[in-house]
Amino acid sequence: MILEATKVSIFKRTRMIEPRFRFRAVALLSVILVVGSSLKAQSAIGVNWGTLSFHKLKPSTVVDLLKVNKIPKVKLFEADPDVLEALMGSGIQVMVGIPNEMLTALSSSTVASDLWVRQNVSRYVVKGGVDIRYVAVGNEPFLSSYSGQYESYVMPALLNLQQSLAKVNLASYIKLVVPCNADAYESSIPSQGAFRPELNEIITRLVSFLNSNGSPFVVNIYPFLSLYGNSDFPQEYAFFEGTTHAVTDGPNVYYNAFDGNFDTLVAALSKLGYGQMPIIIGEVGWPTDGAIGANLTAARVFNQGLINHVVSNKGTPLRPGVPPMDIYLFSLLDEGAKSILPGTFERHWGIFSFDGQAKYPLNLGTGNRLLKNARNVQYLPSRWCVANPSTDFSAVTNHMKLACSVADCTTLNYGGSCNGIGAKGNISYAFNSYYQLQMQNSQSCDFDGLGMVTFLDPSVGDCRFLVGVTDVSSSSFRPVHRWVIPWGLIVWGFWVFVM
């Protein structure tokens, strides 16, 4: 992960984010959209719905969660048929994502783009279907850590997809966008914002395409990563409650990192002649676990401050009174199967836990309403796997490696909510995570006699020992070994708390 090194570069942010790569084809059935809906989206607070989870809620349960919380917009990282089918008739506006790995094929011919549009867009955009408003072509394809591997495919893919949408009469309704990481631009102060020199040509072509088709510029902004990666970054500047480290830029004063980052992009677009281009925040949020600074209190303060700031229509110094078109909080649910290469906090961005339970009070700007929990969640029985107190744990190392190579142990890391529960508590947490992932199979709690099943909840304070969710009618639980990740990537800081 590459992050800001000094305060003078606090407006640039680089995030190494794992690609989302699952793609499933479904039978094609091309239809034409019934005309009449507005082409102009209203400003709103939406959410990112990622599905890289060991414990997946039914898509219909998640859609109900969106509706009960009056969340009007959702951004998906892939065109998952189960998710899209669940969204049919919901009235929720959707941004469908295309993983970076698909750009090569989509840029090669209109045959591939025609097929993708038929299978993943036009079959769902029918009366009473899915209200798809955007297709996100790639996910942060210009990220510096990708070393340009996707850059040459972005524009050809965009042009092919635009033609494919036109063939099914959807080109004027569904807008193509390219979510960019904030490391695409840089500056010491916002007014000097400019795109990275090596990106200048392709970004110029991109914004010209977006402008000609009435599409916004989509950017992901993460003040948390600025704070996480730089010990000199002023903590209060990451939030929205005022700071003693305000940044003065000529006549403008910046009191939070979000506004500074946003206006750096505005300045960069202005240098290309597109200073008035609408901007959508594709991802923004704060994690709740897995690292120092990632906690419930900080996440609530940041997200509520952000929402209040945006819905106030105050705007920023370079765009007074003009907030982003929309913002998509990252994210709706925790994703326990995500890569943790960027950091162990990566699995804990949700405003809801994996089972759809609100983590903290949050008003999404829809009146005096706080988050409501998911309804009708199907749980496994209330039992847990813990360390057997009557056994010798000298041989526990290999069992811990197994449990944490398959299940999620990131809350045990330094700064995590389960970091202080002691050696046996760590063992119990790892055993239980594996046990729940194995659908509470009795053999999965054996660990050569080191584990035992209990009916007493072993949770301690903020450290929650989970009980899995189940849905026998769908594939909410995948075979465990499909998810095996080298254990060293998961527990790199773990053993100091166990041994």
What positions carry a catalytic annotation? 140, 283
Q: Which two tokens stand for residue 361?
A: 């009070």
CA dist., res. 62 & res. 48, Å (int): 12
CB of 339 closer than 8 Å to CB of 490: no
Q: Which two tokens stand for residue 30?
A: 């091309």
Q: Which two tokens stand for residue 295?
A: 């906690």
The closest alpha carbon to 290, from 340, 330, 253, 363, belongs to: 340
CA dist., res. 425 & res. 443, Å (int): 20
Query: Which amino acid is residue 257, in one-letter code?
Result: A
CA dist., res. 357 & res. 375, Å (int): 9
CA dist., res. 254 & res. 262, Å (int): 11
Q: Which two tokens stand for residue 51?
A: 């599905």
Q: Going by DSSP bridges, is the β-strand pair 252-254/247-249 parallel, antiparallel, or unpaired?
A: antiparallel
CA dist., res. 281 & res. 284, Å (int): 7
Helix axes 397-406, 422-437, angle to 10 degrees: 50
Query: Which amino acid is residue 161, in one-letter code?
Result: L
CB of 219 closer than 8 Å to CB of 279: yes
Secondary structure (H, E, C), 321-338? CCCCCEEEECCCECCCCC
Percent of the chain that is helix, strand, coil (3-state, to 5):
35, 15, 50
Secondary structure (H, E, C), 322-378? CCCCEEEECCCECCCCCCCCCCHHHHCCCCECCCCCECCCCCCCCCCCCCCCCCCCC
Cα 84 versus chain centre, distance: 18
- Assess whether the previous peptide bond of 109 is cis (omega < 30° from 0): no
Q: Based on C-alpha coordinates, what's the Rg of the chain?
A: 23
Partners of 247 in the β-ladder? 254
CA dist., res. 441 & res. 36, Å (int): 53
CA dist., res. 379 & res. 356, Å (int): 12
CB of 317 closer than 8 Å to CB of 32: no
Q: Which two tokens stand for residue 164?
A: 């494919």
Buried/exposed 224-239: b ≥16 CB within 10 Å, e otherwise: bbbbbbbeebbebbbb
